[in-house]
């Protein structure tokens, strides 16, 4: 049974279509809201900065989800598919939280100028558009879950083509794929958290602003280094990455404490709920990355590297022998030419 080409089946096209359609509708709603607010509120105000930052994060999230979708479908990665569903659920929660925070940004703006009296009417109009966003995300999540079931059935049989029938190899590869999706999620949530801190909250002259800027290259090196170490099984680099994963948890704890400390809580008042969600998720993801990274580190030098690097093996595990020239022989020989398949 041949592996279907990329986006050649109805479930693959359906999953991609749902992601693209909801992204277009959601971004259209958000762009409309942004246009209405810009006409009536000074988005340079400390409170009102929440609005453009929210839109920027949502745009980044939609592009990130589309990337994950195409990547998961191309590599037949069921684990990444489940990660997409969880990420989509996170977008749903974030959109619901932002209704309240956008309301604060609109009604409590200190620089509304001559438009102050019209702000309640503006919010009444904006609120309806913002409610559409979680409604669309919720409906699309149900559709994605339904199609994901069909994709699970479609991709399940292809695992043997890539790894053979060795249960231990399947188990190791499953942990490797979990680690890869965790690293991708780490990148997004750290980027989203940093964007909000730099644009909305922090004063450029403050020491915390410098600490936040300094953390960016450190985290990027950590994520890239851990991905390379995982794929190539570089032990010293993986050990260093695990050490940084462990140390970076202190950074997120520090940020979370700042949100609620009496001396600093005032500067976070407009975005505390969103920042808290991003910080908690980032902390949990980094902790999970550390734990799963240890598990993957234990699997180094156990024969999985060739599958990770997508190198075609010279021989494949066989359940039986086939004569040269037979259909089964030709099928076995073609296994090495198939692209990498991700474990279910």
Residue 49 token pair? 């900065």
Q: Are 20 and 70 contacting, i.e. CB atoms less than 8 angstroms apart?
A: no
pLDDT at residue 48, as a whole number: 58
Among 260, 309, 310, 307, CA closest to 280: 260
Rounded CA-CA distance 210/214 in Å is 6
Q: What is the pTM for the complete model shown?
A: 0.81
Question: What pLDDT tens digit does each residue of the chain (344 aa) get?
Answer: 456 677 888 999 999 999 999 999 999 998 898 888 877 766 555 555 677 777 888 889 999 999 999 999 988 888 899 999 999 999 998 898 888 878 877 776 555 555 566 677 888 888 899 999 999 999 999 999 999 988 888 776 655 555 555 678 778 888 998 999 999 999 999 998 888 888 776 677 777 778 888 888 888 898 999 999 998 999 999 999 999 999 889 989 988 998 888 887 777 776 787 888 889 999 999 999 999 999 999 989 887 777 666 543 344 444 444 445 544 444 444 444 344 444 44
pLDDT at residue 44, as a whole number: 58
Burial class, 342, CB count within 10 angstroms (exposed 0-12 / middle 13-18 / buried 19+)? buried
DSSP annotation string for 243-309: HHHHHHHHHHHHHHHHHH-TTTGGGGTTTHHHHHHHHHHHHHHHHHHHHHHHHHHHTTTSS-HHHHT
pLDDT at residue 309, as a whole number: 66
pLDDT at residue 146, as a whole number: 94
pLDDT at residue 344, as a whole number: 41
Rounded CA-CA distance 86/80 in Å is 10
Rounded CA-CA distance 91/66 in Å is 13
pLDDT at residue 280, as a whole number: 93
* Secondary structure element (H or E) that encloses residue 327, with its range: helix 327-334
pLDDT at residue 167, as a whole number: 74
């Amino acid at each position: 049974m041949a592996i279907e080409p990329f986006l050649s089946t109805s479930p693959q096209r359906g999953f991609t279509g749902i992601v693209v359609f909801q992204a277009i509708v959601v971004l259209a709603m958000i762009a409309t809201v942004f246009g209405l607010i810009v006409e009536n509120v000074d988005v340079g105000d400390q409170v009102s900065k929440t609005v453009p930052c929210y839109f920027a994060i949502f745009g980044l999230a939609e592009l990130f989800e589309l990337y994950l979708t195409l990547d998961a479908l191309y590599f037949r990665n069921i684990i990444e598919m489940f990660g997409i569903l969880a990420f989509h659920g996170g977008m749903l929660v974030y959109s619901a939280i932002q209704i309240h925070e956008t309301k604060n940004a609109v009604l409590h703006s200190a620089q509304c100028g001559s438009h102050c009296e019209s702000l309640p009417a503006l919010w009444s109009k904006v609120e309806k558009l913002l409610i559409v966003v979680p409604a669309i995300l919720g409906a699309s999540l149900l559709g994605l879950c339904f199609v994901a079931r069909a994709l699970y059935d479609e991709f399940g049989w292809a695992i043997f083509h890539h790894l053979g029938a060795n249960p231990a190899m399947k188990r190791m590869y499953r942990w490797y794929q979990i680690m890869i999706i965790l690293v991708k999620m780490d990148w997004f949530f750290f980027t989203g958290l940093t964007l909000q801190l730099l644009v909305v909250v922090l004063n450029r002259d403050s020491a915390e602003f410098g600490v936040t800027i300094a953390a960016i290259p450190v985290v990027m090196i950590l994520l890239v280094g851990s991905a390379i170490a995982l794929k190539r099984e570089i032990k010293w680099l993986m050990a260093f990455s695990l050490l940084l994963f462990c140390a970076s948890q202190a950074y997120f704890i520090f940020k979370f404490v700042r949100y609620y400390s009496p001396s600093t809580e005032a500067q976070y008042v407009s975005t505390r709920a969103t920042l808290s969600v991003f910080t908690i998720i980032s902390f949990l993801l980094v902790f999970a990355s550390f734990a799963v990274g240890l598990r993957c580190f234990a699997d180094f030098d156990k024969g999985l590297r060739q599958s990770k690097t997508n190198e075609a093996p010279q021989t494949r595990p066989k359940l039986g022998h086939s004569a040269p020239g037979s259909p089964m022989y030709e099928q076995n020989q073609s296994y090495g030419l198939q692209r990498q398949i991700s474990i279910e």
